[in-house]
Amino acid sequence: MLNLMSHIALPVFVLSVLVLAVRHSLISPLPAVIACQLCGLGRMVWARVTFPKGSFSVTAKPAGQELIRVGPYRLVRHPMYAGALLLLWASIAGHLAIVNVAIGIVATIAVAGKIIFEERLLRASYAGYAEYARSTKILVPLVF
């Protein structure tokens, strides 16, 4: 089940963002929302460029690669997901509606399933992952 969720999380998330865009609920004129969206986007880009050249994959494939503990990965274990969720929920906060909240919940559940799957995979793949997990939060520094 978690493996399946891992594979559908990205399409579900992208579809959620597209539906928000079609509903004109993605871009907000509110400066606070825009700031949060830019922070989320910035975190995603920062996490992506932290990966060594040629080692990034949309699906977790840790074989033969060192555990990354630099850049945003020193703050949280899943900075790309944190950034994506910040972008999504900032958009929803800027266009608060029951339908948009439902879209956000579905996308968040899909991302959570992917995180759980990847946590298990990373713990099995890296001897030092348990220690890294004890000292680093999953999505929000110092909180969660």
For 69-97, how does the pLDDT look when each residue is reduced to its tens digit (9 = 90+)? 999 999 999 999 999 999 999 999 999 99
Residue 105 scores a pLDDT above 80: yes
Q: What tens digit of pLDDT does each residue of 37-63 get?
A: 999 999 999 999 998 877 777 667 676
- What pLDDT shows up at residue 138? 96
Q: HSE-up of 79 (CA within 13 Å, CB side)?
A: 23
Is the four-CA dihedral 24, 27, 33, 39 of positive or negative sign? Answer: positive
pLDDT of residue 107: 97
CB 50 within 8 A of CB 68: yes
Tell me the whole-structure pTM to 2 decimals: 0.92
